[in-house]
Chain A
Amino acid sequence: MTDARTTFSSPLDLQSVRADFPILSRELAGGLPLVYLDSANSSQKPRQVVQAIEDHYLKHNANVARAMHQLGAEATAAYEGARDKVAAFIGAPDRNEIVFTKNISEALNLVAHTVGGSLKPGDEVVISEMEHHSNIVPWQMVCERTGATLKWFGVTDDGRLDLSNVDELINERTKIVSLTWVSNALGTINPIKELAAKAHAVGALMVVDAAQAVPQLPVNVAELGADLVGFTGHKVVGPTGVGVLWGRYDLLASLPPFLGGGEMIEVVRMTGSTYAPPPARFEAGTPPIAQAVGLGAAVDYLSGIGMDKIAAHEHAIVEYALEGLKTVPGLTILGPTEAKDHGGAISFELDGVHPHDVATVLDTRGIAVRAGHHCARPVHERFGVQSSTRASFYLYTTPEEIEALVDGLGFVRSFFKVA
């Protein structure tokens, strides 16, 4: 480890970043410091985000759009201001291309329901074996309903998308290609731009699950070439309860509504209704107002630090962690073992110790990791395992925390007498 330590270098001032996240300096039971290595599951929140939400509730709270008073106007301005911030953050050409949802699962269901609703028997939808369940199940449901066929990319032994049959998979019957940009289980970063071009070449739409990409990569949806991109607030240092669907405006405008209710309509008559243009068409009911405000503060926070710096830090930490984990005897990394095109999550198996037991023993040392299938059961099946342990990192992760993990795994092995 000492060799790697001397080579670790990050563009971030970790001490000052960490000072923004009070939870990182709390003590756990028994006086242990927290080593939070579960950011792919949910990130921690900086003070700035929590204060923006508090400020909203304590000073500006009212419903949006429909309240004809000053507070209503302030709340609306805050909510719509968050839309502007998110649009700028991901390089959306038009603020009306940003739809607020409850999380990315809802965004993907929205897409599967509206875009997928016009599928017919014989049409094909292409996903991959490394998807999160929320980019699998909605497509299974819509294929079942419409008679379309679900196809998927396999995964190579080293955890990359198996592109050997790409031209067979993406063919003239393909209507939708929906892929994760960064795998939450393997960490793999997928070549979305190339695949979007392939999808478009056959007239299919490209949908991107960017839940793990937006937190750690500079994103420009206009350059990406995809048609629809979703992410979730709580993984980008924002609050729970808010997600984002970005879509090309002309595409969104051609889609039917998803949920019906207030705010999504134009005129309602008992005999039928007409629908508002996007984004309102897809935002039925009172939206997650304070959560959107918090998300706006979150993307401001990340921009203030710089997404290029965050990406560089994440890369350095992943490289350091891969090196450290490779020193643990009996440890097998699932997915790519090199830091190139590797996002900030590493899943692994430890010979002779079940992942839950790994996680519990680490937890008694203050180290928070995830154990299980991480909502990506098919990719675990692909590697012949039922579950794994996952460590995941973010802008506040330090090399010392990686060392604590590596030491902790040594202790796990001796505790279960596999050392």
Chain B
Amino acid sequence: MQLDSLYQEIILDHYRSPHHTGLADPYDVEVHHVNPSCGDEVTLRVELDGDTVTGITHESVGCSISQAATSVMSDLVIGKPVAEGMATYEKFLELMQGRGNVEPDEEVLEDGVAFAGVAQFPARVKCALLGWSAWRDATARALAQNESQDAAQQEGVSNA
């Protein structure tokens, strides 16, 4: 097993100075996700404008892989439509589950390609996915929340 293929410089850089940390206001939804088997925790806030992810901030405790992956995920998703973020997640997931046999798409994954080596350490794949799962959950809730607010508003309008 190649340590350098796991701990690429990009990963260590994101680990030492992660992006988008510190929980920002305002936000739509905050979630707290944990990895019960190892104890890694992430608190993550999302803000949407319609279907666009305008903000992600997070605070986490965890290993280099989980911290760096959350940092890279935020970079990849902020400013994008939700659907594009979800598609990026699918690509990242495919890479993680590929046991080293999937060629990463740098166009889509950018710094995320540095995680290709993680796929060869099955015990660490869940570390790389923690931030993503928090973002997906928060985004799904934010969409639902905004939708019901819109519906309530519309109802308010038609009642008026």
Contact = CB atoms under 8 A, between A and B. Distances in A.
Contact of A356 (B1, B3, B41, B65): B65
Chain A interface category by residue count: 10 to 19
Contact of A386 (B1, B37, B41): B41
A354 B63 contact: yes
Interface in B11-66: 12, 37-41, 61-66
Given A386-B40, A387-B40, 17 more contacts: A30-B1, A354-B62, A356-B40, A356-B62, A356-B64, A356-B65, A356-B66, A360-B6, A363-B1, A371-B38, A372-B37, A372-B39, A373-B38, A373-B39, A386-B39, A386-B62, A415-B7
A198 interface: no
A364 interface: yes
A58 interface: no
A29 B127 contact: no
A354 B7 CA distance: 13
A377 interface: yes
Contacts of A30: 1
Contacts of B61: 386
Closest 4 CB pairs of A and B: A356-B63, A354-B63, A372-B38, A373-B39
A166 B89 CA distance: 53
A355 B62 CA distance: 9
Contacts of A416: 12
A205 interface: no
Interface in B85-139: 121, 123-124, 127
B121 A360 contact: yes
Nearest to A417: B12
Interface in A168-211: none
A377 B121 contact: no
A56 interface: no
Interface residues of B, number: 20
A160 interface: no
Contact of A364 (B3, B41, B62, B66): B3
Interface string A346-366: 000000001111001101100
A372 B6 CA distance: 19
Nearest to A30: B1
A363 B121 CA distance: 10
Contact of B39 (A29, A360, A380, A415): A380
Interface in A375-402: 377, 380, 386-387
Contacts of B40: 356, 386-387
Nearest to B127: A356
Contacts of B3: 360-361, 364, 415
Contacts of A380: 39
Interface in A404-419: 415-416
Contacts of A363: 1
Nearest to B6: A360
B37 A356 contact: no
A398 B1 CA distance: 25
Residue of A356, A372, A416 contacting most chain B CB atoms (<10 Å): A356
Nearest to A386: B61
Contacts of B39: 372-373, 377, 380, 386-387
Residue of A354, A363, A371, A386 contacting most chain B CB atoms (<10 Å): A354
A370 to B, nearest CB: 10
Contacts of B66: 356
B64 A354 contact: yes
Interface in A241-265: none
A415 B39 CA distance: 24
Contacts of B121: 360
A372 B38 CA distance: 4
Contacts of A387: 38-40
